[in-house]
Amino acid sequence: MSSESFLKEIQAIGEKFLLKLQKLPKAEPVEIICFCVVLLFIVTVLVLMIIACSCCCYSCCGCDGPPEARGRKSQVRPAA
């Protein structure tokens, strides 16, 4: 998919979303609730992705210093 067609697709989705928002005040209560549930789902997924990426960056990228500065991890052995 070329970047031009991708941008057109994103623009079409944005236009549909704006049209839906414009019709929302006149919509039935069930439709408003469904729209809010879908919107809440999208926001939840985005927040979870941000949290996952920030945790991954923290553990992988060495945000807390170089590996030798962090110290060794001690291994726990079972009691005999």
Residue 48 within a domain: yes
Residue 55 pLDDT: 81
CB environment 52-77: b (16+ within 10 A), e (fewer): eeeeeeeeeeeeeeeeeeeeeeeeee
Residue 54 within a domain: yes
Number of folded domains that form the chain:
1
State mean pLDDT over 29-53.
Answer: 91
Residue 21 within a domain: no
pTM over 0.85: no
pLDDT tens by residue, 2-32: 888 999 999 999 899 889 888 888 889 998 8
